[in-house]
A and B are shown apart, each in its own frame.
Chain A
Amino acid sequence: MRPAWEEPPGRVGLTAKGVVLGVACLAILFPLWIVIVTSLSPAETIRQAGGLVIVPDGITFEAYRELLSGGQVTRATVISVCITVVGTLFSMTVSVLCAYGLSRSGSFGHRPMLMTLLATMFFGAGLIPTYLLVQSLGLIDSYASLILPSAVSVFNILVLRAFFMGTAPELIDSARIDGAGEFRILWQVVMPLSRPVLAVISLFYAVGYWSAWFNASIYLNDQTKMPLQVVLNQIVLEGQRPTGMSQIVNTGQIHTLSVQMAVMVLALVPVSVLSPFVQKHFKKGMLIGAVKG
């Protein structure tokens, strides 16, 4: 709603705004459009276009059927989904507990524990010692190496903590009078009241696990354990052929390009579908996160 004192927008201004915003949105949506359309196009259309397809002409799900009928990409997708689910659950459990444990200022050891966490925002331990640590823990080639080293984000804990501290103290007190312990208060009073921030932080963790490429590329050597992002890199950027494909790709009934684009779509779909649901809570989460300490 425009306040009464504000001038109505001029035509030039409106057009300029529209153009800038339109260009910005197009710059994001157009590449995604051609990726999706190409992944759905029959081989003939791709050959005619001489590359990526802009205008769809017939739809076929062959590329997806091929990718998801067993073989390297199917396995990688399953691995990525599992790591994302397990990792997010683990990270959320640890972070929510920690955030609640630190949310009562003045509890035992509150300050030193908080400082221990905060300090890590100012220094990084460095790649080499971290790698050596993971190695000496025997985590090389295990999925735990993709989860444990990056399991807690101090930033996320601070956001959760700030939100928890906003819970009405009367509620917590009355729960305590009714005989609830801390765990029960967290589960039955604080968490139900914090659904928006829990959703946002879960999304952050999930995206982190889903998108992780680097950890897998250094900690895993076993080709059969690679998650989707590594496989995507191998297939599209390094131009390798996915293993376990049937003959029809080689004979040209499915274009290699549509297979590559289909892998990209597999990698981008989950995050694109989830983020709009959580979008309206982003601002709150980030604002709280900006107020530290």
Chain B
Amino acid sequence: MAPAPHIAPAAPAGSPTADGTPSNAPPPDDGRRPGPRRGRRKGRKAAAPPGGITWRHRLRRDRALVLMTAPALLLVLVFAYVPLLGNAVAFKEFDPYVGESFFESFELSPWVGFEQFQRMWDDPYFWGAVENTLVIFLIQLVFFFPIPILLALLINSIISPRVRAWAQGVLYLPHFFSWVLVITVFQQIFGGAGIIAQTMRDHGGGGFDLMTDPDFFKFLVTFQMIWKDAGWGIIVFLAALAAVNHELYEAAAMDGANRWRRMWHVTLPALRPVIAMLLVLRVGDALTVGFEQILLQRRAVGTGASEVLDTYVWNVGLENGDFGYAAAVGVVKGIFGLCLVLIANKTAHLLGEQGVYKK
């Protein structure tokens, strides 16, 4: 990370700081003012350097920067942190109609302690949703995860820049389509009135409808995911491949390694950190599988096969109005999700990889 040398803007020359010492430090030999930045850069607690600037001065100096950060920070505080407090409804028998406003309803709804969580434990639908979520996660891990890696190796081995650019352009495209669009496309191809069923009927075959088949649904979801995002997933691998030192390949070739050996001993080790990082991210997100995607299709296949945790929360909370219970399911999902990231990351560290964040 390149430190940004920074000339303190129009430092209040000679103006005394809060503790009475003059704020101008003696000029350092590189001609720059020694800010407290230097210490902060390495992440140490900033003890103000001798003759240094107090936080008041730093605020004055950086007020433009703080002002710039404020709007985004405010949005994040309101839309990511405030709802965390809102999770308190998980401990209530929350009835949105009992009061005029949310706060009034919140006041008037009775506390029920852990009753909602108890209910969850005894709820077969909840466990059904958990099972579906985990099964879809596993299917995606096995069938979806390796495909971008293989595709990236393939694209990387193509020498003609024009073919490469075209192939990448086409493969990236579906990532930018909405789920509504992707599912509509699938409906038109594989649905009961879709092009395959139509062709089969024309040739005397029976009906055919992949879109409403509960047994196939989990694979269908994975299949849609592959169509939409496998191409996009190759980018990060291509970036890692582009960063490989070509002398390694040359040296390996000198030592008599053929193309497969070079892939095994040079390319794959180069990809390993990226693979590990993405795997950690994927595992951390195990309880979130294709919310919009499944929500759009759950009516067609029935909830038995398609209900996942997210759609269950949506159904219980927003459709049936059982806010307290739905929030409790959301809380449990969030906590387990967080634990999964931490565990996965720890495992990555133990295996000598960097994971998402450093130790």
Contact = CB atoms under 8 A, between A and B. Distances in A.
A287 B234 CA distance: 12
A272 B176 contact: yes
A205 interface: no
Given A7-B258, A129-B89, A132-B323, A172 B4 contact: yes
B116 to A, nearest CB: 11
B317 A128 contact: yes
A17 B154 contact: yes
A178 B89 CA distance: 55
Contacts of A229: 178, 180-181
A163 interface: no
B30 to A, nearest CB: 13
Contact of B176 (A31, A233, A271, A280): A271
Given A17-B158, A123-B338, A108 B79 contact: no
A3 B89 contact: no
Nearest to B40: A106
Interface of A is mostly: helix
B88 to A, nearest CB: 8
Contact of B40 (A111, A117, A152, A176): A111
A108 B159 contact: no
Contacts of A94: 71-72, 75
A214 B292 contact: yes
A166 B58 CA distance: 23
A19 B6 CA distance: 55
Nearest to B195: A52
B181 A128 contact: no
A276 interface: yes
Interface in B271-315: 274, 277, 288, 291-292, 295-296, 310, 313-314
B171 A24 contact: yes
A132 B326 CA distance: 12
Interface stretch (B20-28, B117-125, B133-141, B236-244): B236-244
Contacts of A12: none
A128 B88 CA distance: 11
Contact of A105 (B9, B40, B178): B40
Interface in A237-281: 237, 261, 264, 267-268, 271-272, 275-276, 279-280
B84 A129 contact: yes
Interface stretch (A61-69, A70-78, A95-103, A191-199): A95-103
A104 to B, nearest CB: 6
Interface string A7-44: 10000000001001100110111011011000000000
A176 B254 CA distance: 52
Contact of A211 (B2, B62, B177, B274): B177
Q: Interface residue tally of chain A, by bracket?
A: 35 or more
Interface string A214-252: 100010000000000110110011000000000000000
B98 interface: no
Contact of A126 (B87, B185, B249): B87
A136 B239 contact: no
B180 A232 contact: yes
B313 A127 contact: yes
B204 to A, nearest CB: 14
Nearest to A267: B181
A29 B72 CA distance: 39
Q: How large is the interface on B (under 10, 10 to 19, 20 to 34, 35 or more residues)?
A: 35 or more
Contact of A106 (B35, B80, B202, B327): B35
Given A129-B330, A213-B180, A104 B313 contact: no
Contacts of B258: 7
Contacts of A52: 188, 194-195, 198
A233 B64 contact: no
A143 interface: no
A47 interface: no
A89 B284 CA distance: 32
A150 B292 CA distance: 15
Given A6-B253, A117-B73, A1 B159 contact: yes
A277 to B, nearest CB: 10
A281 to B, nearest CB: 11
A275 B154 contact: no
Nearest to B274: A290
B1 A165 contact: yes
A105 B3 contact: yes
A25 B103 contact: no
A169 B68 contact: no
Given A20-B154, A127-B310, A135-B102, A108 B58 contact: yes
A126 B76 contact: no
A182 B64 contact: yes
Interface string A152-189: 10100100000001100100110011000111001000
A54 B198 CA distance: 12
6 contacts: A123-B338, A127-B318, A212-B178, A237-B187, A237-B296, A282-B235
Given A6-B249, A106-B35, 4 more contacts: A100-B65, A108-B66, A130-B83, A130-B86
Interface of A: 1-3, 5-7, 17, 20-21, 24-25, 27-29, 31-32, 34-35, 50-52, 54, 93-95, 97-98, 100-111, 113, 116-117, 120, 122-133, 135-136, 148-152, 154, 157, 165-166, 169, 172-173, 176-177, 181-183, 186, 207, 210-214, 218, 229-230, 232-233, 236-237, 261, 264, 267-268, 271-272, 275-276, 279-280, 282-283, 286-287, 290, 292-293
9 A-B pairs closest in CB distance: A129-B86, A106-B37, A211-B178, A136-B102, A125-B83, A126-B330, A98-B72, A101-B68, A101-B69
